[in-house]
Structures are given as C-alpha cells and as structure tokens.
Chain A
Amino acid sequence: MRSIMQGRELELYNKVEPYIVYPLQNGRGIRSDAPPEAVEAYEELIKIDKAKKRIPYDN
C-alpha cells in the first residue's frame, strides 16, 4: 500500500520524525532519548492507526 499523511497525523508525525530510528531501540521505532512531546505524539499516532477502520486485506 502507498498512502499519505495529512491533517492531525501529519502534525503528529512531524513531531516524531526527528527521533524515528531504525534499527529499533527497545523494540520501538523512536529513539530512547526522544523528548516527552515526541513520545506522546508517537503513542497517539499508534492509537490513531489502530482505530482506523481499514479494509483488512490490503497491503
């Protein structure tokens, strides 16, 4: 799948982007020294993604 971010998701992503890391750190894709506001944005993004009602068989 290819999709784009917009609105609230893009706003949150922009807070997280400087701290996104690969390989993962402590099983997460955010640097372990990321500031609290970036961690909050990261967690909110995950919540939003889980709440999305997507067609389950697309990739």
Chain B
Amino acid sequence: MGISETDNLPKVLVVSREDIAKTDIALYRAIENLLLICEDFAVYKPQDMPAVMKQLACGENDLSSYIHELYHWVDAKEFRRKNGAVTEEKYDEYINFINSKAKKRLDKLADKGYNILVSKYARDKVIFQQFYEIYTEFRTFSLLGGE
C-alpha cells in the first residue's frame, strides 16, 4: 500500500450494526481519523463470507474492507500534507481533491485498457460519480490479487 510510516494511522473501531447505517460495511472518518467496521464483517474465514460481500472487491478476504478504508486514509494523508487538516469546513474541498485525483488515475487506467469496474459496488459508484470509491476498489482488488 506504500505505507512507510505508522504515524497517525487511524484508530480502528469495530462497531455494532446499530452504530452505523444499516447498509454500511466499513467507513473512514477523515476528520476524526477513525476507521469503523461493522462487527458482522470484522473477521471471517473465506468459506464463511457473508453473502453481501460478493458485491465488493475481494469480499472473500476479511482484510479487504480494512484495506479499502486504509486507502482512503492514504488519500486523506496526501490531502493533509498539501492542505492541512480535514475539517468540517474543508470537507467538500477534501472530497473534491480525492475525487479529482481518482478520476485522473481511472482515466489513465481506462486508456490503458484496464477493467477498472472490479465490483458491483464500483459499478454502482459510477452512477454517483464517486470516483474515489471506484479507484479504491480497484486498488484493493489489485493489492489482494483479485480474480
């Protein structure tokens, strides 16, 4: 993942289903630097994969959601280096920054002929033009050697 230092890694919280939106698996809160994962998806063996994980890149691997969210952390770190802390006031700027960067990278990958829509979740996010989610799914897929 290109993580060379462990400073400021996010705190990981395993939360109950009631603590997050009912359709969420995991999320990263850049303002608080928190990685939240729903307890139902925190640890499992491939043979016990929850069925809904089929919608996500490398869902059979229980590390995939941590890796996906850590890529958001990597992107937030780049934003912080260039623009300072992610705050409520700068949240739109932060999202625009990571979305624009992701789109440029996706465009290059698409030009080279890569299949960048590696999961149902990634394809869904094309509809909402959340390129940072599509690119993060692609990176997760690439790192974990998805088929």
Contact = CB atoms under 8 A, between A and B. Distances in A.
Contacts, number: 85
B31 A17 contact: no
Contacts of A56: 91
Interface residues of B, number: 37
A57 B106 contact: no
Which DSSP category, helix, strand, loop or mixed, fits chain A's interface?
A: mixed
Interface residues of A, number: 26
B15 interface: no
Given A2-B56, A4-B52, A20-B117, A29 B127 contact: yes
Nearest to B126: A29
B127 A42 contact: yes
Contact of A1 (B98, B117, B126, B133): B133
Interface of B: 21, 23-31, 52, 55-56, 65, 68-69, 72, 88, 91, 95, 98, 106-107, 110, 116-117, 120-121, 123-124, 126-129, 132-134
Interface of A: 1-6, 13, 16-17, 20-24, 29-30, 42, 45-46, 49, 54-59
